[in-house]
Chains A and B, each alone.
Chain A
Amino acid sequence: MQGERLKGNLDLLLLSVLAAGPAHGYAIITALRERSEGAFDLGEGTVYPALHRLEAAGLLAGEWADAPGRRRRVYALTSKGAAALAAEHAQWRRFAAGMQAVVGWTA
């Protein structure tokens, strides 16, 4: 999945990954890649603006932690973020079920 379609769903993807517990950027992006089995091919550096935006919107809480010889920002889902995830997830389920009913798995 590429480009605009991925961008439009990035917030839901990031919130879903963080539902498993707090994580820093690299861990979030690695989880995204592994769980999607490589289907989401995106410039890793372009995920950070989305994390910053979600934090500014109050859906994530960011905190600096110490990594060996450098700083690392760890993100956690806030209660507002958890509510947004539940709402987006319900919408996504409806959308995916509708798509699948019409399009099916095979062409």
Chain B
Amino acid sequence: MTGPVEEYLRQLRASLRTRPEETSRILAEAEDHLREAVAAGLAAGLTETEAAEAAIASFGSVRAVVRAHQTPRGQAAAAIGGLFMAIWLLAGVMLASAFAVGLVMVVVIAAKGPNGGPPDPAHPTLGGFAGVVATCGLLSLSLLVSYSRTRRFLERSRSRG
């Protein structure tokens, strides 16, 4: 049976950015509190749904509870972590775009190569350019894969507990 209380606890678990042992403590206390508040509501004559909604409203929004449990240091750490992850993703995406543009250029240059006249000494050779493009591709691939793995790992370690 999943009622409003279960849904609230699920959202709280997913949103808390606390250490696993702290998260499990917060959730245990929130569950005990909400179940007692629901029982009090039922005793006062509310329906199951009304009692659950009243209990949740008095407890406070998931957002407010999550914020209350975050220390100033935790908030700073979360902000720095978020910035780091954003830079990681941005670097991966930029390298991937460079790879895509470079790949198109290599293909175009190679296609008109035979009748493109003598090689231009001011520009690197096609082989060298293709090497740079391939490096971009490999780098972006490793950045993006490690990014998504790190993200998944962080999400799993957050929701454990």
Q: Which residues of A contact B (CB under 8 A)?
A: 24-26, 29, 43-46, 48-49, 52, 67, 70-73
Are A43 and B65 interface neighbours, CB within 8 A? yes
A98 to B110, CA, bound (A): 88
Across-interface contacts of A67 in B (CB, < 8 A) = 32
Give the size of the chain B interface in residues (CB under 8 angstroms): 20
Question: Of residues A24, A25, A45, A67, which shows the largest number of chain B Cβ atoms within 10 Å of its Cβ?
Answer: A45
Kindly provide the distance from the CB of B11 to the nearest chain A CB, expressed in whole angstroms. Answer: 12
Residue of A whose beta carbon sits closest to that of B27: A71
Q: Quick one: given A43-B59, A67-B32, A70-B28, are A49 and B69 in contact (CB under 8 Å)?
A: yes
Kindly provide the distance from the CB of B21 to the nearest chain A CB, expressed in whole angstroms. Answer: 12
A52 to B35, CA, bound (A): 20
Across-interface contacts of A26 in B (CB, < 8 A) = 32-33, 36-37
A99 to B9, CA, bound (A): 42
Are B58 and A44 interface neighbours, CB within 8 A? yes
Residue of B whose beta carbon sits closest to that of A47: B68
Across-interface contacts of B36 in A (CB, < 8 A) = 26
Within 8 Å by CB of B59, from A44, A71, A72, A73, lies A44
Across-interface contacts of A72 in B (CB, < 8 A) = 28-29, 32
A48 to B28, CA, bound (A): 11
Residue of B whose beta carbon sits closest to that of A50: B68
Are A73 and B29 interface neighbours, CB within 8 A? yes
Within 8 Å by CB of B29, from A43, A46, A48, lies A48
Are A46 and B32 interface neighbours, CB within 8 A? no
Within 8 Å by CB of A43, from B31, B32, B68, lies B68
Q: Quick one: given A44-B59, A45-B64, are A25 and B69 in contact (CB under 8 Å)?
A: no
Q: Mark B62-73, 1 if CB is under 8 A from A, else 0.
A: 001100110000
Across-interface contacts of A24 in B (CB, < 8 A) = 32
The 6 listed contacts between A and B (C-beta, < 8 Å) are A25-B29, A25-B32, A26-B36, A43-B61, A52-B25, A70-B28
Are B32 and A70 interface neighbours, CB within 8 A? yes
Q: Quick one: given A44-B58, A48-B29, are A70 and B64 in contact (CB under 8 Å)?
A: no
A85 to B113, CA, bound (A): 85
In the complex, whether B26 has a CB less than 8 A from a CB of chain A is yes
Across-interface contacts of A71 in B (CB, < 8 A) = 28, 32
A71 to B29, CA, bound (A): 7
Across-interface contacts of A48 in B (CB, < 8 A) = 26, 29-30, 68-69
A73 to B21, CA, bound (A): 14
